Chains A and B, each alone.
Chain A
Amino acid sequence: MSSRLRFVAAIGSWLTLWLWPVRVALESDMAAHMTIQVPLLIGIGVFLATGVRSREPHWLADADWLGIPGIVMVVLGTSFWMLPRALDGAVADPLVDAAKFLSLPLLVGLPLGLSWRRMPPLGRAFIWANFIPKLGAIGGLYLAAPTRLCAYYRLDQQAVAGWTLIVLAVVLGTLSFIAAFVGWPARGLRQLSPAAPSIRFPRPYPGR
């Protein structure tokens, strides 16, 4: 796919998610908001990165040494939008929602797509292996909380969101375990697993 086509596809899917019925449908449920809309917005940014990678300014690629600033940005950005208060704000206020729609692709997805390739394999494994139990722990917290954490979501929705996160953590954890220990036959999945010994790095570490 040409980089122009990728750019158009990214903008198109971004606008589709912003469309009123789609936005309301995904945000009216806590689990859909957290495990469908937010990951899709991040995914759009990652996809955008594949299109603009060739045009990334040299100084930026240089300064993003081993992908460290980029991945720090990703961790902080995802932490922000994991706060119940931020989710509430996105439902209550279209301006906060607009901030979410801009920051998740541009400040989380895009740096993730650009920095991931620059990260050393152990660094990728560290981030990935931290992310999975974090999902499960947050899911467990949602189930354990006796009260609602979000003013705009019901307690039963919170429980469904909690279970969804736990199931996601178990599935991702199992797949990653298999990929890390025995490798994965499928090429796409092998790329998902940072610790798989068979992974190939398209570019040498920058900064040389």
Chain B
Amino acid sequence: MMTRGFLPLLAIVAATGIAALAWETDGFRVVTSAGARQLSIERTPRLLPDVRLVDQDGHAFSLSSYEGRPVLVDFIYTRCPTLCGVLGDDFHGVLQLMSGAGAGAQIDLLSISFDPQNDDREALQLYGDRYGAKAPRWRIATLADARDLAALMQSFGVVVIPDGMGGFIHNSAVYLVDARGRLARILDPDSPPQLFADASRVSLP
């Protein structure tokens, strides 16, 4: 025979457990931390710290200088042997698509190096030349003050871990900052046309 406290105890245990699982997966929609962040940004765009950056031409600018127009941002380091190359090719592809599209479909591109110690102006320039990046349309930049790095990474949700061979492993995402200077979307670097379409759609007023 079923005991007296059985059903209440089972109900409490099952309800609490399933609620915890639903909470941790945002209603059974995501299982990874990257997915969770993507979803949360989509719902509530986030303000970003106004850090000072220096681009491949040695030109200093602040993140807020993009206000008024959307910008696609990716995070790189120029010695990167793998992923950054994919990201670089993607931005190169977006650049080509834009030159084919009308003047109204212009989106700025910004590649930020999270390795300001090693990535001086020359390194940024070389990386830019590799993918045909020209400032100001596509800036290859790093932080003017390395102390801002942690805050910037935190606000974009970029996690950088050492790869055990002197390099880094980092998120392979492209970040869309909207015209109001907020992080509005985290995009998968699938293909340049997809990226361009996503960016154009979100950047429409």
Q: Is the CB of B33 within 8 A of A150?
A: yes
Distance, CA A88 to CA B159, complexed state (A): 11
Report yes or no: B159 in contact with A69, Cβ–Cβ below 8 A. no
Residues of B within 8 A of A65 (CB): 2-3, 6
Partner-A contacts on B (CB < 8 A): 1-6, 8-10, 13-14, 17-18, 20-21, 24-25, 30-36, 159, 161, 163-164, 169, 171-172
Q: Are A63 and B30 in contact (CB under 8 A)?
A: no
Q: Report chain A residues within 8 Å CB of B8.
A: 63
The answer to whether B6 touches A63 (Cβ under 8 A) is yes
- Cβ contacts under 8 Å, A72 to chain B: 10, 13-14, 17
Q: Of B1, B2, B4, B33, which one neighbours A88 at CB under 8 angstroms?
A: B33
Residue contact A150 to B4, C-beta cutoff 8 Å:
no
Point out the residues of chain A lying under 8 angstroms from B21, CB to CB. 76, 79-80, 83
B17:A73 contact, CB within 8 angstroms = yes
A residues whose Cβ falls under 8 Å from a Cβ of B = 59-60, 62-65, 68-69, 72-73, 76-77, 79-80, 83-86, 88-89, 92, 147-155, 206-208
18 A-B residue pairings within 8 Å (CB atoms) = A60-B5, A60-B9, A62-B3, A62-B5, A63-B6, A64-B6, A68-B10, A72-B17, A76-B21, A79-B21, A85-B31, A92-B33, A148-B169, A149-B32, A151-B171, A152-B161, A155-B169, A207-B1
Q: Is the CB of B32 within 8 A of A85?
A: yes
Known: A68-B10, A154-B161, A207-B2. 12 other contacts (CB 8 A): A60-B5, A62-B5, A72-B10, A72-B17, A73-B17, A76-B13, A76-B14, A77-B17, A85-B36, A86-B24, A154-B163, A154-B164
Q: A80-B20, A147-B172 are in contact. Are A69 and B9 (CB under 8 A)?
A: yes
Closest to A63 in B: B5
Residue of B nearest to A73 (CB): B13
Give complex CA distance A152, B18 in Å: 26
A59 touches B5 (CB 8 A): yes
Chain A min CB distance to B120 (Å)? 27
Enumerate chain A residues within 8 angstroms of B171, measured Cβ to Cβ: 151
Chain A residues closer than 8 Å to B159, beta-carbon distance: 92, 151-152
In the complex, residue of chain B having the shortest beta-carbon distance to the beta carbon of A153: B161
**Are B25 and A85 closer than 8 Å at their CB atoms?**
yes
Among B31, B171, B172, chain A packs the most CB atoms within 10 A around the CB of B31
Asked if B33 contacts A76 (CB within 8 A), the reply is: no
Q: How far is the CB of B27 from chain A (nearest CB, A)?
A: 13
Q: What B residues does A63 contact at CB under 8 A?
A: 3-6, 8-9
Chain A residues with Cβ under 8 A from B169's Cβ? 148, 154-155
Can you name the residue of chain B whose Cβ is closest to the Cβ of A208?
A: B1
Structural contact, A206 and B32, CB atoms closer than 8 A: no
Q: In the complex, which residues of chain B have a beta carbon less than 8 angstroms from the beta carbon of A148?
A: 169
User: Smallest Cβ distance from B168 to chain A, in angstroms?
Assistant: 10
Whole-angstrom distance between the Cβ of A89 and the nearest chain B Cβ: 7
Give every chain B residue within 8 A of A154 (Cβ-Cβ).
161, 163-164, 169
Contacts of A85 in B (CB 8 A): 24-25, 30-33, 35-36
